[in-house]
Amino acid sequence: MPMSEHRNKQPKVLIPEVKLQARLAELAQEISHDYRDREVTAICLLKGSFVFFSDLIRRLDVPMTCEFLGVSSYGNRMVSSGEVKITLDINEPLENKHVLIFDDIVDTGLTLSYIMNSLRARNPATLKSCSLLMKPDSLKVDIEPDYVGFKIGGEFVVGYGIDFAGQFRGLPYIGYIEHGH
Ligand code: IMP
Ligand code: MG
């Protein structure tokens, strides 16, 4: 299907807004509890995580600083290339910090595993990850985020920060668009 047709198509709802927000409240409570005696360095992986990140951090009840890491892996294609490019780096040192990475979706796991390895080299005191979505059946590397919002099937999802060819990031819910035909 040409990209222009996707643009005019309304994605179907996979996870409605109320369900997203309810799960975010649970995740925030769990994270606030786990980090209760520490200051968190919260890292937002751009671009896909910016909506999830801004909603979640507003529910956290811990001292925190925010950093933004630009990562590009997909181009405009629907399958993972496995290539990860840093498009915007973090200037602050992460040494001895309690770093928590926020990701939108773990598919093959290649992106998050690459990012975890490259941040680990900066010697944080602790390094954990939180992904809003995860496709367990698509994993190609052995990685399990420490916090996961929802495990989903193989659907190509959009919305709530997640795009297809740059579109759909503004949807307040997680939707899906059908492949092919
Ligand atoms: P991975 O490296 O295969 O785990 O892919 C992770 C990245 O691919 C995510 O951060 C997204 O940017 C993108 N991605 C994976 N699955 C989807 C999807 O269903 N819709 C939109 N982007 C996706
Ligand atoms: Mg991403």
Tens-place pLDDT, residues 42-90: 999 999 999 999 999 999 999 999 999 999 875 555 566 666 889 999 9
Task: Tell me whether residue 117 is in a domain.
Answer: yes
Which of the ligands is closest to the CA of residue 51?
2
Please tell me the distance from the alpha carbon of residue 166 to that of residue 161, in angstroms, as a whole number.
10
Q: Ligand 2 centroid to 32 CA: how many Å? A: 23
Q: Give pTM, 2 decimals.
A: 0.92
CATH number, domain at 67?
3.40.50.2020
Q: Which of 86, 100, 94 is nearest to 123 (CA)?
A: 94
Task: Tell me whether residue 179 is in a domain.
Answer: no
pLDDT tens per residue across span 94-120: 999 999 999 999 999 999 999 999 999
Q: Backbone phi, then psi, for 50, in 5-degree steps?
A: -65, -30
For ligand 1, atom 10, name the residue with the nearest CA.
105
> Which of 107, 142, 146, 163 does the annotation list as catalytic?
107
Task: Tell me whether residue 3 is in a domain.
Answer: no
Give the domain range for residue 145.
16-155
Task: Tell me whether residue 51 is in a domain.
Answer: yes
